[in-house]
Amino acid sequence: MASAIKRLFTFKRKKAPPLACHLTLDEDENHVHTAACFLEVQPLAVAEFFQSQGCASCPPAVPGILDATNHPNLHLLTYNVTYFDHLGHRDPYASPRWDQRQKAYVRRWGRNSLYTPMVVVGGVADGGSGGGSRDEIDGVVGRAREALRQVGEDWHIYVDVNESGVRIDSDRLEAEAHDVLAVVYEDRSEMVKIPKGPNKGKKVMHKNVVKDIVKIGEWAGGNVVLAPLPQMAPGTAAVVLVQAPMGGPVVAVCKMS
């Protein structure tokens, strides 16, 4: 397994986040910094995108959602749901498990209905019904970050993942038991032409489609060491989430390379 990418997750902030130049290692060493290449350094957040190949509202919204979530401080995961499979096309990526994950969020928020396309950020804020514009998704991300700061305003959590296992360190000694989840996804983008159903003939981009979620343990405060992640098939990657149960806040995210 590749070396882990470590992240420090701090929700407590008394001043504006610092700026950093976002560059890849293979870029020109003579690069000249400009205002355009500086970004706020913030904790990595997960953006969970619920969609369906049979949802008429999804194809026009997907480009905007993918564009708005294409940010180094966000990690997109795509879940295809089954609600529209009765309309003449069975979505090959869909699973009832992803239906249940979306419903867990809706129930947690005390709602009676759900929708697609839907983007859930950090398990605490959602949007997408307005067409998935950058302004809409940016608003969801902003609300999520504020909510997560309130969740962890007086404590911190650090997650490290490597070949020997998952380590969680926190200065909060006691907490509600949180699920530690390994989310396995296809590490690619794929343009799919839908063969049947309401969106017959339309081409829709699919990015980071989730294949499996494995609970590898729990965190209930303090320091915890858990077993390594499950073996992954070629072409897949994983991200570790520390999440309150039943659709609760995602208080830490660690992405694997």
Work out the number of other CB atoms within 10 angstroms of the CB of residue 23.
12
- Tell me whether residue 33 is in a domain: no
Taking the alpha carbons of 210, 121, 9, 29 in that order, is the dihedral positive or negative?
positive
Q: How far apart are CA 132 and CA 138, in angstroms?
A: 10
Q: Is the model's pLDDT at 58 over the cut of 70?
A: yes
pLDDT grade, residue 255 (50/70/90)?
Answer: confident
Work out the number of other CB atoms within 10 angstroms of the CB of residue 24.
5
Residue 41 CA: distances (Å) to CA of 18, 44, 74: 6, 9, 11
Q: Is the model's pLDDT at 30 over the cut of 70?
A: no
Give, as one character, the DSSP assignment of residue 256. Answer: B
pLDDT (0 to 100) of residue 13: 39
**Residues, the chain:** 257
- Tell me whether residue 124 is in a domain: yes
Q: How far apart are CA 179 and CA 222, in angstroms?
A: 14
Least confident of 16-25, 32-41, 119-128, 235-244: 16-25
- Tell me whether residue 9 is in a domain: no
pLDDT (0 to 100) of residue 230: 81
- Tell me whether residue 197 is in a domain: yes
In which domain, by residue range, is 133 found? 42-255
pLDDT (0 to 100) of residue 31: 64
The residues that bridge with 126 in the sheet, in sequence order, are 120
Q: How many CA atoms lie within 13 A of 89 on its CB side?
A: 20
Q: How far apart are CA 241 and CA 159, in angstroms?
A: 9
pLDDT grade, residue 20 (50/70/90)?
Answer: very low
pLDDT grade, residue 9 (50/70/90)?
Answer: very low
- Tell me whether residue 201 is in a domain: yes
Our count of domains for the chain comes to: 1
pLDDT (0 to 100) of residue 64: 95
Q: What pTM value is reported for the model?
A: 0.84
> CB-based burial of residue 232 (10 Å sphere; 0-12 exposed, 13-18 middle, 19+ buried)?
middle
CB within 8 A of 52, min separation 6: which ones? 58, 80, 81, 82, 83, 84, 85, 91, 94, 116
Tokens of 95: 């699973």
CB within 8 A of 131, min separation 6: which ones? 60, 61, 64
Task: Give per-residue pLDDT as tens, 174-220.
Answer: 999 999 999 999 999 999 999 999 999 999 999 999 999 999 999 99
pLDDT (0 to 100) of residue 170: 95
- Tell me whether residue 23 is in a domain: no
Task: Give per-residue pLDDT as tens, 73-129.
Answer: 999 999 999 999 999 999 999 999 999 999 999 999 999 999 999 999 999 999 998
- Tell me whether residue 18 is in a domain: no
pLDDT grade, residue 29 (50/70/90)?
Answer: low
- Tell me whether residue 36 is in a domain: no
pLDDT grade, residue 22 (50/70/90)?
Answer: very low
